[in-house]
Amino acid sequence: MKQRTFENQHQQQWKTLEQWLDNKPKNQFPQKYRQICQHLALAKDRHYTPHLIKRLNNLALRGHQLIYQTQPNLTNKIINFIAVDFPNKVRSEAHLVILASLLFIIPLLIMFIGIQIAPDFIYTLIDSEQIKQIEKMYDPTAKHFGQNRESDSDFLMFGFYIYNNIGIGFRTFASGILLGFGSIFFLVFNGLNIGAVAGHLTQIGYIVPFYSFVIGHSSFELIAIILSGAAGLKLGWGLIAPGRYYRLEALRNAAKQSIQIMGGVIIMLLLAAFLEAFWSSNTAIAPLIKYIVGSLLWLLVLGYLLLAGRKYAT
């Protein structure tokens, strides 16, 4: 039988099967699956064109998966999201991630360097009472240094850090609906504040207490803030440049994509809160160990976002 005759004879049957596979039907499928396997065998035996054989082979593979594979459960979906979907989504929005990084890091560096040159520069952002509280927290001569908190206090602080971190991330993201300006504000504001605190504590010599505390969780927390800003900028850009869509529709599309980033951001902020409560605050761990672990975590998080799931990218 010539290939054209063979295709004309079964074309409608294959189209019907493709529609069924797209809709994941169950009724009468095993019979249709056996037929497509038979057609594939005939096409190979008769040496029909590679294009036809590939089409039938794809149908047979999809049918096999539908019959013999179960739907992925929640655990598998979460693992796939973390290992593949989230890092790929972050990389697909690289231009917004870079912009958000600049909006956060540049103000941070300006404030940090400015305080090293002119220590009183911190008072342009933080009042004297707040500065005293910050100094008290990281004073190496304070009694609380060298003493671990009780376990119930660790759990209370874990809850506080979750509330605080999620709040910062959500505000940075959700305010992007204000044409992106809200996200820009919170990125710059958080960068200035973090730069001010780090710069002041560095300038007065509280280096070890401060940096040994923050380095453990900072990779998750700071990168999560940047990604929250990128997701918020995505919302704003959907309104500013809707393209061929109505603005409301463009906003919906942008929100769907931004939520994927925010799902990963929430996981990162939960990890940051856990480390901050149970690792960073543990004074029994030597600062050198904290520096090593913290540096490795920075490399791990950056490597994950840059490399994870690449071979599955579409």
Q: Residue 142: what are its φ and ψ, rounded to 5°?
A: -70, 150
Structure confidence by residue, pLDDT tens digits, 154-197: 567 767 778 788 899 999 999 999 999 999 999 999 999 999 99
Type of residue at 219: S
274, with CB counted inside 10 A (0-12, 13-18, 19+), is middle
pLDDT tens track for 70-120: 455 677 788 888 988 899 999 999 999 999 999 999 999 999 999 999 999
Q: Could you report the per-residue pLDDT of 193-208, keeping only the tens digit for each?
A: 999 999 999 999 999 9
Contact (CB, 8 A) for 169 and 228: yes
In degrees, rounded to 5, the angle at the alpha carbon of residue 181 between the alpha carbons of residues 177 and 186 is: 100
- CA quadruple 145, 150, 152, 158: dihedral sign: positive
What's the pTM? 0.73
